[in-house]
Structure 1
Amino acid sequence: MTPRIVTPENAKQLTRLRQLGEPTLHPDYWGQVLTFDPRSRLLVSMVLGSKGRLRWWDLQDELPHPRVVQPLPGGLEAVVLPDAQTIMSVTVGGQLQAWSAADGRALRSAHLGLTTSGIDLSRQGDLLLVAGVSGDLRLWDVAHWRPLRDLEPASALLYGCALSADATLAAAGAADDRGENETQGSIRIWDVATGASRGVISVQASRVWDVAFTPSGNLLAAGTSVDDIILVDVVSMKVVGTLKGPPAGAWRLSFNSDGSLLAIGADTGAFVVLRTDGGGCVHAYSDKDDQQASAAVFSPDGRFVAWGEDLAQVGVWGVDA
């Protein structure tokens, strides 16, 4: 039976519907970054750690075993192209690769020349945004498999990055050096067409781990290293709200399809779901493994929340019909 679409009204009823992957104990397991394909059928996991692995499942399969497991030491993140035929991955060392979603064959690769901290794919699938740790932000032309342009560099460490729904704006979470081993978190926004910086917003935290645009593109959410989720109006570049997230900090952010809910992977083995209208937390879960941090992501069809668990498994959550 197909689960219901998750809404602010029923999100308290979220339960784990499936557990994917065999439980595996690795001392160097750090967590997972997850993504769905646009049809909400493929679920991709990048297992973080020295024994990194890229895996994906077809959710129409009944078995918990992944369709493909690709060893990928230093793997950082992956995205799925809109046709769901190709998966792109990047390593911390800046190796960009394309894989066949059908059988895991390596299709092509390139070296970016960056120590990479995050990527995001445009909704149209033509642009890949790549953030470099040292403040570089690059646009990659997916169809022609080549760099398109660099955006204005930032004098800060960059973390998670995002493109707006219409791909006119780029954003990244950052940490600005304040000397004596201290940093201050900031939100940075760029104009994609010109590459120019649109501005910098400092926050009361040492880091901004991740950013995510609402589906409408009017608001940007920023996950900090404390329990604040900052909401920014991207037109006025003003902070317009703050949500209370997990105390350990918001490591990864994911909006549902209408922007009414925000899933947050905490900087511990936990995830929460918040109402974005200020209604507070509607779901929280922890596996009590504070040695791992994993993303929690909404499926595009709004029926699932996937979260990386301890023992390198993936939980698929939903509201029973």
Structure 2
Amino acid sequence: MSPTDLTHAVITPANAAGLKRVRQLGPSRIELGWGQTLGFDPLGTRLLSIDKLNTPYRLRWWNLETASDVPAGSVELKLEPSVAFLSSADLIVAGGPPVGEAATPWRPRLLSLSTTDGSLWREDTLPSPVSGLGASRDGTLLVILERDGAWLWDVRSWKQIRDLPGIEGDFTVKECAFSRDSRFAASVISHHDQGHECLYLWDLTTNAQPWHLPIEQLPFVWSVAFHPTQPLLVVGGNASEVLVVDVNERRILKSIPHCQYASNLDFSLDGTLLVESGDGRGFAVHHFDTGEVLFSHSDDEDLQTSDAVFSPDGRFIAWGQGDGTVGLWGVSPVP
């Protein structure tokens, strides 16, 4: 939501139980297996939705500074739906399909698209398809290519900064994330040749090998998120707990019980709240320190799995609904 929209209160542990849907972004599109990956731009003026299960994958975005609930634009891509994000209010960065009319034809690409009309601004050829992207607040991008390792890419200068060591083998990337200060980058992946789920953590101030943590507590991992004010990150998957990892001490600190199949995780602005979306189970808001569920909602669409994410100013939660729309949830206006 626009940072100038101050009519709703910041969501806190004290008022989270009063969350209500305040806006519905459409149009609806009822299809079996619907699901959406969501993300705000850094200022909260645009919201991006990416199909999770349909091919070709559709990207839609809304200008939240206007009253219109109709998407400001949309494009379709043929690759993984999770590899796209809003680097600013003006630009979407995404993995692009090989096409014959590209500068280097029939090669995977990294794309920069305009949010004005979806047109291509910049592109670069890659050795293999992008399988994971994570955006930092300063515009740096973690690019993970299956079979080709991990890179740091600078969106503003549109060039590779350096390789990141230590990731190899037959794997599938689930999610990537940066710490708030951009010192650390993390990725959760499924290692097919090693037969386990794992967390990779890079300290970007060094060229050291990443810390590699096998995740034995979760049969499958899907999500990772850094705490905004503490040296902690959380890992979620298909189990009734979320793991809390101490980044400095490189160890699992504790688990938060009763989180149900966390397909994505996101922290509130100050880290007191953790929102999780579940596999066909809606979304829930937890008090991070205690794990207590303060609010939950579901539309009973068992076949859809969509993200729930906080807006950058902490006033709204966006959640992809079962009919293909996106709901914005907030608490009562400030008196």
TM over 0.5: yes
Cα distance in 2 for residues equivalent to 1:73 and 1:311: 22
Given that 1:184 and 1:205 are in contact with CA atoms closer than 8 Å, whether structure 2 keeps it comes out as no
Cα distance in 1 for residues equivalent to 2:85 and 2:172: 23
Q: Which moved more, 1:223-232 or 1:261-270?
A: 261-270
Q: Note if 1:130 corresponds to 2:136.
A: no
Given that 1:259 and 1:276 are in contact with CA atoms closer than 8 Å, whether structure 2 keeps it comes out as yes
Give the aligned partner of residue 304 of structure 1.
316
Q: Note if 1:80 corresponds to 2:92.
A: no
Cα distance in 2 for residues equivalent to 1:195 and 1:312: 43
Q: Secondary structure at the match of 1:2?
A: coil
Cα distance in 1 for residues equivalent to 2:245 and 2:47: 29
1:8 to 13, 30, 55: 13
The letter of the residue matching 1:290 is D
The percentage of counterpart residues that share the same residue type is 34
Cα distance in 2 for residues equivalent to 1:250 and 1:289: 16
Give the aligned partner of residue 124 of structure 2.
110
Give the aligned partner of residue 189 of structure 2.
174
Per-residue deviation, 1:307: 0.7
1:294 to 306, 316, 319: 306
Q: Secondary structure at the match of 2:323?
A: helix
Distance 1:5 1:234, change over 3 A: same
Per-residue deviation, 1:200: 1.8
Cα distance in 2 for residues equivalent to 1:107 and 1:60: 23
Distance 1:303 1:224, change over 3 A: same
Distance 1:46 1:109, change over 3 A: same
Q: Secondary structure at the match of 1:123?
A: coil
Q: Secondary structure at the match of 2:83?
A: strand
State the TM-score, normalizing by the size of structure 2.
Answer: 0.86
Cα distance in 1 for residues equivalent to 2:117 and 2:193: 48
Q: Which moved more, 1:301-310 or 1:192-201?
A: 192-201
Per-residue deviation, 1:224: 1.9
Given that 1:76 and 1:90 are in contact with CA atoms closer than 8 Å, whether structure 2 keeps it comes out as no
Give the aligned partner of residue 234 of structure 2.
221
Q: Secondary structure at the match of 2:17?
A: helix
Unmatched 5+ stretches in structure 1: none
Per-residue deviation, 1:154: 4.0
Per-residue deviation, 1:80: 2.0
Q: Note if 1:204 corresponds to 2:196.
A: no
Given that 1:117 and 1:160 are in contact with CA atoms closer than 8 Å, whether structure 2 keeps it comes out as no
Per-residue deviation, 1:311: 2.2
Unmatched 5+ stretches in structure 2: 1-5, 99-107
Q: Note if 1:39 corresponds to 2:43.
A: yes
Cα distance in 2 for residues equivalent to 1:243 and 1:209: 16
Cα distance in 2 for residues equivalent to 1:86 and 1:278: 38
RMSD, aligned α-carbons? 2.2
Cα distance in 2 for residues equivalent to 1:312 and 1:55: 11
2:55 to 47, 50, 55: 50
Given that 2:110 and 2:130 are in contact with CA atoms closer than 8 Å, whether structure 1 keeps it comes out as no
Q: Secondary structure at the match of 1:104?
A: coil
1:284 to 296, 314, 321: 296
Per-residue deviation, 1:235: 0.4
Give the aligned partner of residue 255 of structure 1.
267
* CA deviation string 1:56-83 (max 9, x = no partner): 111122221011121223333322224x
The letter of the residue matching 1:160 is E
The letter of the residue matching 1:45 is S
The letter of the residue matching 1:136 is G
The letter of the residue matching 1:110 is D
Per-residue deviation, 1:147: 2.5
Given that 2:128 and 2:148 are in contact with CA atoms closer than 8 Å, whether structure 1 keeps it comes out as no
Cα distance in 1 for residues equivalent to 2:198 and 2:173: 9
* CA deviation string 1:141-161 (max 9, x = no partner): 212323222322144433111
Q: Secondary structure at the match of 2:82?
A: strand
Given that 1:223 and 1:229 are in contact with CA atoms closer than 8 Å, whether structure 2 keeps it comes out as yes
* CA deviation string 1:220-242 (max 9, x = no partner): 11112212110011000111121
Q: Note if 1:66 corresponds to 2:71.
A: yes
Cα distance in 2 for residues equivalent to 1:134 and 1:286: 38
Q: Which moved more, 1:238-247 or 1:304-313?
A: 238-247
